[in-house]
Copies of this chain bind each other. A is one copy, B any other.
Amino acid sequence: MSERYVLISTDSHAGPPAEQYRDYIESRYRPAFDEAQTEAEAMRQLAETDDTRRFLDEWDKEIGEHGGMRGAWDPVVRDKEMDHDGVAAEVVFPDADSAGVGGVAKTPFTAGLGSTGDDDPELTLAGAWAHNRWLVDFCANSPERRAGVALVPMHDVSAAVRLIEWSAEHDLRGGIMIPTKWGRLPSYNDPVYDPVWAAAAATGLPLHTHSGVGPDPDDYGYTPGLIAIYTTEAYWWAARPLWALILGGVFERHPSLKYVIAENGAWWTPDIISRMDSKWEGDHATRKFGPAAFRSGLTMRPSEYFDRNCWMAASVMGDVEVERRHLIGVGNLLWGSDYPHPEGTWPHTRTWLAERFRDVPQEDVRRILGLTAAGVYGFDLDSLAPHVARIGPTVTDIHGT
């Protein structure tokens, strides 16, 4: 047993085809759902290029013998693919298709990765409920291996609190995901959200934001380099809630709140956090604002809140995250496969792990690949042990002989 790693993916995605989602939508929203699906499919086709079609053909071939995208909603296929990749357990986000594969629906009414505070409040909430109900059923298979993340729109604080309590009652141990962009809603440093943070802290459910949204359409229009620009600055949009929460004193007021940023790397945190610290300490560049501007409501350094309350689910992390793990915090860094996205490690996770972690001390690898996640999400290691014994990557697999 000690020879195998407990591999927990803190970033995976699941969602069914539209006809399955439809059953989970409240009946009065079904016409709007059908219309949105038709529109989404038309948009998908419009966005296709020769390049993307070529990529999808290759991808289809690559995953053909792995059930294709079926594992996105079929727990039996999914478990088989987790076994194939050596993954004992997973934290499940929405929106299984990130490439326009077809067949897998987006979360109803963009309540998933693309959600922002600017979306329609009523429809977004309806979409979130539909996904969350589907997710409870989906996680009921192999519950010891799956921690589902409930979607929590933020338009209505009371509705958000109800959703959190419902998620806790239905054992969605993955926690909750709020929109990365608050849009026209109050920013996340606004005390108006304190009941949401309090509910997450009280239930022990980790709070998440996940990368995905980028600049507003008005910011760049349809101009040259748009996708390259989007992928460059998407890091920043997904990082923004971090300083809103830390500097807004949210972790001061809710010391047990756990916050996880998913799929946004972690290479950027040491530089940003050390700058926050420097201002808190009263550096030359910001002395003109006076100490209250940086210390009000914060009894600790920003880095101390980060260490205590924040984790980076850096997914398919790069060499840079591994190299900077001590600056980021070895205990704040979580691995994820991003299954079944083509930007993830599936179906080659075992090879990928060996490439990335071969020369990293085992103690660090154990924490990054699974032990820290087990603590954050409350996975029961005893229940996972039989899976690990059966399919977990061995020390030799990763570090060689």
Contact = CB atoms under 8 A, between A and B. Distances in A.
Give the bracket for the number of chain A residues in contact with chain B: 35 or more
Contacts of A225: 189, 244, 247-249, 296-298
B232 A276 contact: yes
A286 to B, nearest CB: 6
A336 B141 CA distance: 62
Interface stretch (A13-21, A49-57, A161-169, A360-368): A49-57
Interface in A177-208: 184, 186-187, 189-191
B224 A189 contact: yes
B294 A221 contact: no
Contacts of A257: none
Interface of A: 49-52, 54-55, 59, 98-99, 184, 186-187, 189-191, 218-221, 223-229, 231-233, 235-236, 240, 243-244, 247-249, 267-268, 271-272, 275-276, 279-280, 284-294, 296-298, 316, 320, 342-343
10 contacts: A49-B292, A51-B291, A52-B290, A98-B288, A99-B288, A232-B247, A267-B271, A271-B320, A288-B342, A288-B343
B293 A227 contact: yes
The 6 A-B pairs of least Cβ separation, nearest first, read: A51-B290, A225-B247, A227-B293, A228-B247, A99-B288, A225-B248
A5 to B, nearest CB: 22
Contacts of A51: 289-293
A288 B226 CA distance: 15
Contacts of A284: 316, 343
A224 B191 contact: yes
Contact of A220 (B50, B189, B219): B189
A295 to B, nearest CB: 9
B229 A243 contact: yes
Contacts of A190: 221, 223-224
Contacts of A220: 187, 189, 244
A335 B187 CA distance: 36
Nearest to A246: B225
A110 to B, nearest CB: 19
Given A52-B289, A186-B221, A232-B272, 14 more contacts: A51-B290, A52-B288, A55-B288, A187-B221, A220-B244, A224-B249, A225-B296, A227-B289, A228-B294, A231-B286, A233-B240, A233-B243, A236-B236, A267-B271
Contacts of A59: 288
A217 to B, nearest CB: 11
Nearest to A253: B224
A187 B287 contact: no
